[in-house]
Chain A
């Protein structure tokens, strides 16, 4: 199961790169604004068309902002072995993704990594919504 999930994440990441012309992505997020966020999960919204993970992120000055990051489609994630509680409130994660264009603390998550290196979810905007 885990090997399949890892394979699928590899697939999803590559798809996201190959489909850079995905229009929903381009309308919302800026591929020229990559961002890496590390913080504590405050909420997981498991719903269509994409899941959203919220996390408290502390900047260099110690100020905490609550970021929302868009993940994959819940049905696809479920089929790939992930569950609604695969990521829990309080988990520390590192998100690599792209900032939204609207200036809000929002990003499209390309990778979500736990402290031990395991990856969770991902697969966002790799195709139609």
Chain B
């Protein structure tokens, strides 16, 4: 037993702290469902590749962690961005931790968190279901524009378009309260997120996340991931506030939004 833990630990080191999610023991898991994942990507009625499935997304608590492939070598901070990064600990002491308040994690922390995500896809929509806080995010792909004068929000508003067989998702109208990752790299309300999804075969999506945020970074930067289909995992309810003793008992303060992110 002990030896197995040691072996497991060594394996983890070799993997560079990739996703810690175990996948194989959930009830209903089917070995057959995961077989032959190298066959061609499934197609939507319109002939485009479907991104549908439960995906074993990459756990990425720090986008600059070189142990995790696809990382960003160096974040090109503006002066404002650098100050935001360096003051994150003191900001949380005074303004509270938004995730500790069970507020939405936003796109990148939902994508790169420890909990699974599912994509539902048809001709006109791609829907991301995040187990983290039982959140959803709908991406219209029917050619509609962004909604005029929509108030900003945690996940912002997204639209999708096809570039050949790659789905390109643009997201704007962010409230600027979310951080890029667990460790707290900053972003502002001026950020634009560009994601690409390319289903290279039945079992694999190549995903990119690009942040363009001139208030925080002097140039756009991109994180690249490979997601593996995870048919044995079923998303479960995540009612974040039901047992949030950290907030109930005052160890985490009620969140006060920053007032300088526009």
Please give the residue numbers on chain A whose beta carbons come within 8 Å of chain B beta carbons, in ascending order: 1, 3-15, 18-19, 21-24, 26-28, 45, 47-52, 68, 70, 73, 75-76, 78-81, 100-102, 104, 106, 123, 126-129
Contacts and interface: CB of A to CB of B under 8 A. Distances in A.
Contacts of A106: 245, 249, 251
Given A6-B4, A49-B243, 19 more contacts: A3-B1, A13-B9, A21-B182, A24-B246, A27-B97, A27-B246, A48-B240, A48-B241, A50-B245, A73-B114, A75-B238, A76-B21, A76-B22, A76-B114, A76-B115, A79-B22, A80-B25, A127-B59, A127-B113
Specify the main secondary structure of chain B where it touches its partner: loop
Interface of B: 1, 4-9, 12-13, 17, 20-26, 59, 61-62, 88-89, 92-93, 97, 99-100, 102, 105, 109, 113-115, 131-132, 182-184, 233, 236, 238-246, 249-252
B54 to A, nearest CB: 12
A23 to B, nearest CB: 6
A73 B26 CA distance: 15
Contacts of A14: 9, 12-13, 17
Nearest to B13: A14
A79 B233 contact: yes
Nearest to B24: A4
A12 B20 contact: yes
A78 B236 contact: yes
B252 A24 contact: yes
B25 A128 contact: no
B239 A47 contact: yes
Contacts of A7: 4-5, 7-8, 22
A124 B106 CA distance: 22
Contacts of B26: 78-79
Contact of A23 (B1, B89, B114, B131): B89
Nearest to A1: B25
Contact of A50 (B4, B25, B243, B249): B243
Nearest to A7: B8
A97 to B, nearest CB: 14
Contacts of B17: 14-15, 18
Nearest to B239: A48
A26 B109 CA distance: 18
Nearest to A8: B22
A127 B115 CA distance: 10
Among A22, A27, A45, A100, the one with the most B-chain Cβ atoms within 10 Å of its Cβ is A27
14 contacts: A3-B1, A7-B5, A7-B22, A10-B9, A19-B182, A21-B182, A27-B252, A28-B100, A68-B245, A73-B238, A76-B22, A123-B20, A127-B20, A128-B115
A26 B89 contact: yes
Contacts of B92: 23, 27
A102 B251 contact: yes
A109 to B, nearest CB: 13
Given A127-B59, A127-B114, A24 B6 contact: no
A22 B233 contact: no
Nearest to A70: B245
B237 to A, nearest CB: 8
